Amino acid sequence: MPDKGDNSLLSLHLKYNHMALDSLKHTPEYKTCRVTEQCLTGIRHCPICRTSNATQRPHNNMTSREATRILEKIHCDTLGPFKGLSFFRSRDKKLSLIPQKYYITNIIDEFSKYVVSIISTTKSIGKVLFEELDMLNNKFSGVRIANFRADNAPELSDIQSFRDRGINREQVPSYSAELYGIAERIELCLTKLEDVF
């Protein structure tokens, strides 16, 4: 385990359980960590990563094919927390601002790249998510959601609700952006927008 005062890229690799170099670039600590050639070599030749064959590839050894119609494959991921302000009206009718954390959950159709964003103050959005999925199912006649692809987030662990709607639930391993490209790309755009504002 790295020292608490060490802010090198190699210590960040160890802190995040041998996270891949490409994934490390998306962590908040990456902007302030010390990147040297020795750190990059240490990560590329990490003996634990090599022993465990830590490659970013599908765990079922199958390639996923692209969607050929709308609602064939839906991607979902939660981004946040974002710091923001919320309005609050006190008993004496004065309006004030209080700090608030927000999460953005994106539901993305792979074929059309249509995005539905749910902004909430908590990560547990199961009920709202299923309402949005039902609305998408009802929006297009004769077309239903076939596959729902998300990481192993606890708020999306209700597999029976997916089965009741006739949706196949595909699970993506955590911290594997290479397997989750569409959702990660949308989140990267949103993160860049947050930096602007």
DSSP the chain: ---TT--BHHHHHHHTTS--HHHHTTSGGGGGSB--HHHHHHHHT-HHHHHTT---S-TTS-PPPPP-STTSEEEEEEEEEEEEEEEEE-TTS-EEEEEEEEEEEEEEETTT--EEEEEESSS--HHHHHHHHHHHHHHSTT----EEEEE--GGG--HHHHHHTT-EEEEE-TT-GGG-HHHHHHHHHHHHHHHH-
| Residues 40-83 pLDDT 10s | 888 888 888 777 655 545 455 555 678 889 999 999 888 888 88
Q: pTM for the complete prediction?
A: 0.61
Q: Rounded mean pLDDT of the chain?
A: 81
> Could you give all domains of the chain from N- to C-terminal order, each with its CATH number?
9-51 (no CATH), 73-196 (3.30.420.10)
